[in-house]
Amino acid sequence: MSWLYTFGYDLAAFLFSLALIAAYYVYLGRRLRRDPTYTIQGLNNLARSLWVIHAMSTPGKDVMAVQTLRNFVMGASLMASTAALLIIGTLTLSGQAENIAKSWHVLNLVSSHSAEIWIIKVLCLLIDFIVAFFAFAMSVRLANQVVFMINVPDTGAHLSLSPHAVGQRLNRAGSLFSVGLRTFFFAVPLVFWLFGPVFLVVASAWLVFAFYRLDRGDLADQG
């Protein structure tokens, strides 16, 4: 049971933070079942669906649609490149555990300063950035498909090329972009975890509060 004594505080802080974030998403899921436009993500999905229908049914909107999607692809590509750079930086941290673990834990008064727990923390951060990279990369892939599909006339087109189907594909691209951003946000408490478990709990609580303020679609309630 020596490992529990060594890693107990960090494990408890990690599980508590995980439970806090999971509880928020359970609450959010219940609200979304009652009102699909409760969150800004739900409003974005509705807006994207209506935009695709308008672009595919209105002549002369093809250039506007391609330019809009190009901007989306450029943004997702930039975020994917940022995630790749963060992955490289995190791998660099993992190779310097012995040198910087104790200095980064100077404010850590309750848990272990061992290099092993440092490696575990950096590994969690690395997994977070890898998930972000794949989410943004898949978002680029789906948006590139929509670039071609959105210019197909909806009259007599294949069922998979209907405005509804294209809108669903674009919404999946938008959802993956949102997942990538969320993983970037989740990196905040993971970074604070490098300084100690107390910082992880505080940062996780702040993150949930920030999500609660930012996720709601009704901006009038956020003033």
pLDDT score of 221: 46
Torsion, Cα 89 90 92 93, to 10 degrees, reads: 130
pLDDT score of 55: 84
pLDDT score of 223: 36
pLDDT in tens for each of the 223 residues of the chain?
Answer: 555 555 677 888 899 999 999 999 999 888 888 888 888 888 888 899 898 888 888 777 778 888 888 999 999 999 999 999 999 988 887 766 566 666 555 555 555 556 677 788 888 999 999 999 999 999 999 999 898 888 877 656 677 778 888 889 999 999 999 999 999 999 999 988 888 888 899 999 999 999 988 888 665 444 3
Cβ neighbours around 91 below 10 Å, total:
12
Cβ neighbours around 155 below 10 Å, total:
7
pLDDT score of 105: 59
The pTM of this model reads: 0.84
Domain ranges of the chain: 2-222
Q: Which residues neighbour 78 within 8 Å (Cβ) at sequence distance 6 or greater?
A: none
pLDDT score of 110: 57
Residue 160 to residue 97: CA distance in whole angstroms: 51
pLDDT score of 142: 93
